[in-house]
Structure 1
Amino acid sequence: MVTLPGESVSYWMESAAPTSYPRLDCDVAADVAVIGGGMAGLCTAWELARTGRSVVVLDAARIAAGVSGHTTAKLTAQHGLIYAHLRSTFGAEAARLYARSQTEAMEHVVATAAELGADCEIERRPAYTYAADARQDGEIRAEVDAAREAGLDACLVTDTGLPFRTGSAIRVADQVQFHPRRFLLALAEDLTRRGGRVYENSRVRRLREGRTNKVTTETGATATAESVVIATHYPAFDRSLAFSRLRPLRELVIAGPLDDKHAPPGMYITPHEGTRSVRSAPYGDGRRLLIVTGEKYTPGEPKVAQRFDRLISWAREHFPVREITHHWATQDNWPTDRVPHVGLFHLATQNVYVATGFGGWGLSGGAMAGRTLADMIDGREVAWAGLYDPRRVHPIAEAGAFVKANLATARHFVADRLRPVEHDALAVIPPGGGAVVRWKGQQCAVYRDEEGAVHAVSAVCSHLGCVVAFNDVERSWDCPCHGSRFDVGGGVLHGPASAPLSPRDVREE
Structure 2
Amino acid sequence: MNELTGTHGSHWLRTAAFPAYPPPTGDTEADVAVIGGGIAGLSVAWELTRAGRSVVVLEGDRVAAGVTGHTTAKVSALHTLVYDDLRKSRGPDAARAYAQSQMAAVRHIGEVAAELGVDCELEDRAAFTYCQDPDGVEKLRAEVEAAREAGLDASFVTETGLPFPVAGAVRVEGQAQFHPRKYLRALAEDLTARGGRIHERSRVVDLHRGEPCRLTTSSGSTVTARDVVVATHHPVFDRGMLAARLSQHRDLVVAGPLPADRDPDGMYITQEEGKRSVRTAPYGDGRLLIVTGEAFGPGTEPDTEGRYERLERWTRENFPGVEITHRWAAQDNASTDTVPLIGPLHHGDDHVYVVTGFAGWGMAGGVLSGLLLGSLLGGRPVEREWAELYDPRRPGIVARTAPAVAKEQWDVAKHFVKDRLDSLGAGARRTVDDVRPGTGEVLRVAGRPCAVYREESGSLHSVSAVCTHMGCLVAFNPAERTWECPCHGSRFGVDGEVIQGPALHPLERREPKEDGGREPEEDRG
Fold conserved (TM > 0.5)?
A: yes
Alpha-carbon distance, 1:174 to partner: 1.6
Contact conserved, 2:372 with 2:382, CA < 8 A, in 1?
no
Does the residue aligned with 1:40 lie in a helix, a strand or coil?
helix
Find 1:439's aligned residue among 440, 445, 456: 445
Aligned to 2:475: 469
Distance 1:344 1:377 in 2: 11
Question: How far apart in 1 are the matches of 2:350 and 2:507?
Answer: 34
Q: Which residue of 2 aligns with 1:233?
A: 233
Which residue pairs with 1:129 in the alignment? 129
Q: Distance in 1 between matches of 2:399 and 2:266?
A: 36
Question: Larger deviation: 321-330 or 437-446?
Answer: 321-330
Aligned identity (percent) is 54
For 2:490, give the aligned amino acid.
Answer: S
List structure 1 runs of 4+ shifted beyond 4 angstroms. none
CA distance in 1, matches of 2:141, 2:27: 56
1:56-95 counterparts in 2 under 5 A? 56-95=56-95
Tell me, in whole angstroms, the C-alpha distance in 1 between the residues paired with 2:408 and 2:319: 36
CA-to-partner distance for each residue in 1:344-383, whole Å, 9 max, x for gaps? Answer: 0100111111000000000000000111011111343322
**Higher mean Cα deviation, 470-479 or 17-26?**
17-26
Taking the aligned partners of 2:469 and 2:84, their CA distance within structure 1 comes to 36
Three-state SS of the structure 1 residue aligned to 2:274 is coil
Structure 2 counterparts to residues 139-178 of structure 1, below 5 A: 139-178=139-178
Letter aligned with residue 495 of structure 1: G
Q: Counterpart of 1:273 in 2: which secondary structure?
A: helix
CA distance in 1, matches of 2:382, 2:492: 40
| Partner Cα separation in structure 2 for residue 395 and residue 228 of structure 1 | 25
Judge conservation of contact 1:336–1:401 (CA < 8 Å) in 2: yes
Separation in structure 1 between the aligned mates of residue 47 and residue 382 of structure 2, nearest angstrom: 15
Instruction: Flag structure 2 segments of 5+ consecutive residues without an equivalent.
Output: 516-525
Q: How far did residue 455 of structure 1 move?
A: 1.1
1: distance between equivalents of 2:155 and 2:62? 41
Any idea what the Cα deviations from partners look like across 1:82-113, whole Å, max 9, x if unmatched? 00000000000000000000000110111101
After TM superposition, list the pairs within 5 Å mapping 1:241-280 onto structure 2: 241-280=241-280
**Backbone CA RMSD of aligned residues:** 1.1
Counterpart code for 1:382: E
CA distance in 1, matches of 2:400, 2:344: 21
Out of 429, 434, 442, the residue aligned to residue 428 of structure 1 is 434
| Structure 1 residue 262: Cα displacement | 1.1
TM-fit CA distance, 1:399:
2.2
2:389 to 355, 367, 387: 387
1:305: Cα distance to partner?
0.4
Q: Distance in 1 between matches of 2:56 and 2:65?
A: 18
Query: Using the alignment, how far apart are the partners of 1:360 and 1:18 within structure 2?
Result: 24
Deviation at 1:131, TM superposition (A): 1.2
Partner of 2:522: none
Q: Which aligned pairs between 1:45-444 and structure 2 lie closer than 5 A?
A: 45-285=45-285, 287-301=286-300, 302-379=302-379, 380-383=381-384, 384-392=386-394, 393-419=396-422, 420-422=425-427, 424-444=430-450
- Following superposition, the deviation at residue 201 of structure 1 comes to 0.5
Q: Is residue 262–residue 320 contact of structure 1 (8 Å, CA) maintained in 2?
A: no
| Rounded Cα–Cα distance in structure 2 between residues aligned with 1:205 and 1:179 | 31
- After superposition, the C-alpha distances for 1:128-155 in whole angstroms (9 at most, x for unaligned) are 0001221100110000000000000000
State the shift of 1:240 in Å. 1.1
Indicate the residue corresponding to 2:487 in structure 1: 481
Report the AA paired with residue 455 of structure 2. D
* C-alpha distance in 1 between matches for 2:352 and 2:456: 45
Query: Map of 1:3-82 to 2, 5 A cutoff?
Result: 3-82=3-82
In 2, Cα distance between equivalents of 1:196 and 1:265: 38
Secondary structure of the 2:125 match is: strand
Q: Which moved more, 1:136-145 or 1:313-322?
A: 313-322
Which has the higher mean CA deviation after the structures are superposed, 390-399 or 174-183? 390-399
The letter for the 1-side match of 2:462 is: A
In the superposition, the TM-score normalised over structure 1's length comes to 0.98
Tell me the distance in 1 between the aligned counterparts of 2:186 and 2:3. Answer: 35
The AA in structure 1 aligned to 2:404 is A
Does the 8 Å contact 1:19/1:62 carry over to 2?
no
| Cα distance between partner residues in 2 of 1:244 and 1:321 | 44
Read off the aligned partner of 1:236 and give its amino acid letter: V
Structure 2: how far apart are the matches of 1:450 and 1:263? 40
Q: Say whether the 8 Å CA contact 1:132–1:273 is kept in structure 2.
A: no
Structure 2 CA distance for aligned equivalents of residues 135 and 508 of structure 1: 56
Letter aligned with residue 79 of structure 1? H
Gaps of at least 5 residues in structure 1 are none
Q: Is the 8 A contact 1:120 1:180 kept in 2?
A: yes
- Aligned counterparts of 1:2 and 1:335: Cα–Cα separation in 2: 36
Alpha-carbon spacing, 1:3–1:27, altered in 2? closer, same or farther (3 Å)? farther
User: For 2:182, what is the secondary structure of its paired residue?
Assistant: helix
1:388-409 per-residue CA deviation (whole Å, 9 max, x = no partner) reads 0111242342122212111111
Letter in 1 for 2:39: M
Report Cα offsets for 1:292-333 as digits up to 9, x if no partner: 000010001211001100100000000134311100000011
> What is the number of equivalent residue pairs in this alignment?
508
Alignment of 1:457 with 2:460, yes or no, is: no
Q: Which amino acid aligns with 2:407?
A: K
> Using the alignment, how far apart are the partners of 2:62 and 2:79 within structure 1?
28
User: Partners in 1 of 2:294 and 2:58 — Cα distance?
Assistant: 32
